Amino acid sequence: MLNRLKTLPLTIVLTVLIWMYAEAQFTNTQENVQLSVKLVTPSPDLSVRELDPTKNRLSDTINAVVTLQGPRNELDSIFQQSQGVPDEELASLSYAPPASELKPGEDNSIDVASMLNSLKYFRQRRVIISSAAPRRVTLEVDRVLHLQKAPDFRPAATVDRAVLSEDAVTVNVPSTTLEQLGGPGKIAVIAEPQSPLATLPAGSTQ
């Protein structure tokens, strides 16, 4: 019993030291970290983009300035990369909102800190996003229409005969964009010699 009592103070000291070390490891804070996350559509039938009401524009990337908490070495690494050239993992952060939570034509907004905390990149590094600016972002969710269009071949020089690999191609376009263009009749697929039709962009006819 006496030996146990003698070792008790040492046990308490070690416990306190371990607790202090763990507390220091996980409560470090780093402010003003700039992050970019690419929005990925969860369904081929949906278009998801961030709506910036102040600039009246759409973007497929969410940019935020955040405060991080976690191990000091991880915070330093992320902060330094955010100020310079990020590694492949940090540069390719992406987020696909659950399709079940997206409502085309309605108000769709997400909490930025919660979105970032759901990413595997931060969970693996035991890093938490405690705050973000902007705090929330609005997503424009639109239905994607799949139009069948016949390619229009316009050679740079006169040719006697042209053979197209496909009689028709599928053009995927958000319904709002199609409405702004003026309808399906304004969409054209221009074929180029020796170019795969699958890689051609859709354009508006004159």
Q: What is the pLDDT of residues 121-151, one digit of tens each?
A: 999 999 999 999 999 999 988 888 888 777 7
CB 104 within 8 A of CB 49: no
Amino acid 178 reads L
Q: What is the pLDDT of residues 152-201, one digit of tens each?
A: 666 655 555 555 556 677 887 887 777 777 887 777 777 666 555 554 44
Question: What pLDDT was estimated at residue 163?
Answer: 52
Q: Which helix (H) or strand (E) holds 104?
A: none
Q: What is the pLDDT of residues 17-50, one digit of tens each?
A: 555 555 555 579 999 999 999 999 898 888 898 9
Question: What pLDDT was estimated at residue 20?
Answer: 55
The model carries a pTM of 0.69
Question: What pLDDT was estimated at residue 2?
Answer: 45
